[in-house]
């Protein structure tokens, strides 16, 4: 029994095949299982991410045909991989605990089956259940985190609660699912969190790249350094992408936009590169909020983040078999 969609019609990511988490046979042998987490009960400001999964799944001007051949990577991830869509997990906004438990269970089920979970948020509070669901399978501390965000999301208490969208990373460290010294953050900026939280982060030996460092040293260098840390004594990487890492000009449709972010091009290249170079074991794209979007540009970006991640994974597997290495400078039509 498939739950389907929490809001709107039951559609899949660009037309890929359906599966049901309650029916293990339906996703046996899958490489990737997409699941929607339409939850915005953890949002501290502008809501609307409950419509993120629907928007990320469907915002594309091309046919919804389960095929997306990447020009850059020369793979068709939706076909070269077995990608299924499990629909949404029911996540009632007013019940955080139950909602988080449900998505954690879903992510763990997918991971345990051998597939990579790709979670479509939803607000960032789901990073806690998402990453914990993965870590329960690989072992606490065995999966590193690469986290793109304008915000550290390491707050302690907000509105009197522990599990909102500004706190999941703290909880992940506290419960041991992710090691502090394998927690990489890129794109932070602005005026939050406050210094004692930063002190706590430093104590955990987290590595957080604020935009000033990124601009000064260069994004590529920071990314390379972070990737190296992520792969030191870890078995896999969990990739958490908060769309607000991009500048609001590129991603207006989000809840807590912080001016001065990276460009959409930079994010897409980074996601692609990480999924191509590192053993990614889980992906989430969060904080796409359609009510605040314009001309669907943020939803389209969310859709492309998923596709770049999948294409990177597909090319990684292909190259692992063939022994080739991808050359980003190769002209599009060369070698055809």
- Binders of a copy of itself among 145-174, rule CB under 8 A? 159-161, 163-164
Assigned token pair, 129: 């259940």
State the Cα–Cα distance between residues 180 and 144, nearest whole angstrom. Answer: 9
- Rule CB under 8 A: say whether 258 interacts with a copy of itself: yes
- Rule CB under 8 A: say whether 312 interacts with a copy of itself: no
What is the secondary structure of 117-163 as a DSSP string? EEEEES-GGGHHHHHHHHHHHH-TTSEEEEEE-SS----S-BTTBS-
Site for a copy of itself in 53-72 (CB under 8 A): 57-58, 61-62, 64, 67-72
State the Cα–Cα distance between residues 90 and 162, nearest whole angstrom. Answer: 21
Residue in 19, 21, 37, 40 binding a copy of itself, rule: CB under 8 A? 40
Nearer to a copy of itself, 138 or 200 (CB): 200
Residue in 20, 229, 231, 297 binding a copy of itself, rule: CB under 8 A? 297
Helix or strand (DSSP H, E) at 275: helix 264-277
Q: Are 180 and 169 a contacting pair, CB within 8 Å?
A: no
Tell me which residue has tokens 């359609």. 290
- Rule CB under 8 A: say whether 133 interacts with a copy of itself: no
Nearer to a copy of itself, 45 or 324 (CB): 45
Site for a copy of itself in 74-113 (CB under 8 A): 74, 76, 90, 92-96, 98-99
SS3 189: coil
The residues that bridge with 210 in the sheet, in sequence order, are 188
**124: annotated binding-site residue?**
yes
- Rule CB under 8 A: say whether 213 interacts with a copy of itself: yes
Site for a copy of itself in 229-248 (CB under 8 A): 247-248
**151: annotated binding-site residue?**
yes
Show binding-site residues for Mn(2+).
124, 149, 151, 153, 242, 244
């Amino acid at each position: 029994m498939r739950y389907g969609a929490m809001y709107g019609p039951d559609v899949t990511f660009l037309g890929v095949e359906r599966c049901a988490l309650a029916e293990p046979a339906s996703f046996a042998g899958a490489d990737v299982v997409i699941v929607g987490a339409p939850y915005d009960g953890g949002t501290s400001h502008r809501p609307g991410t409950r419509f993120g999964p629907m928007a990320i799944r469907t915002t594309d001007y091309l046919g919804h045909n389960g095929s997306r051949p990447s020009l850059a990577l020369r793979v068709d991830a939706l076909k070269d991989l077995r990608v299924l869509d499990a629909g949404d997990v029911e996540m009632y906004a007013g019940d955080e605990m139950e909602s988080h438990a449900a998505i954690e269970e879903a992510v763990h089920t997918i991971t345990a089956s051998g597939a990579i979970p790709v979670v479509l948020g939803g607000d960032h509070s789901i990073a806690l259940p998402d990453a914990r669901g993965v870590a329960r399978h690989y072992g606490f501390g065995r999966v590193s985190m690469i986290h793109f965000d304008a915000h550290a999301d390491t707050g302690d208490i907000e509105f009197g609660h522990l599990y909102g969208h500004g706190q999941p990373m703290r909880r992940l460290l506290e419960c041991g699912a992710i090691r502090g010294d394998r927690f990489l953050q890129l794109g932070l900026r602005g005026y939050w969190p406050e210094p004692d939280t930063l002190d706590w982060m430093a104590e955990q030996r987290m590595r957080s790249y604020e935009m000033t460092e990124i601009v000064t040293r260069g994004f590529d260098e920071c990314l390379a350094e972070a990737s190296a840390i992520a792969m030191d004594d870890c078995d896999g990487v969990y990739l958490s992408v908060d769309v607000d890492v991009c500048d609001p000009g590129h991603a207006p449709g989000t809840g807590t936009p912080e001016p001065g972010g990276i460009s959409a091009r930079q994010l897409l290249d980074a996601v692609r590169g990480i999924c191509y170079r590192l053993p990614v074991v889980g992906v989430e794209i969060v904080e796409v909020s359609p009510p605040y979007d314009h001309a669907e540009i943020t939803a389209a970006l969310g859709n492309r983040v998923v596709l770049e991640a999948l294409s990177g994974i597909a090319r990684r597997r292909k190259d692992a078999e063939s022994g080739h290495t991808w050359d980003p400078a190769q002209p599009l039509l060369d070698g055809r």
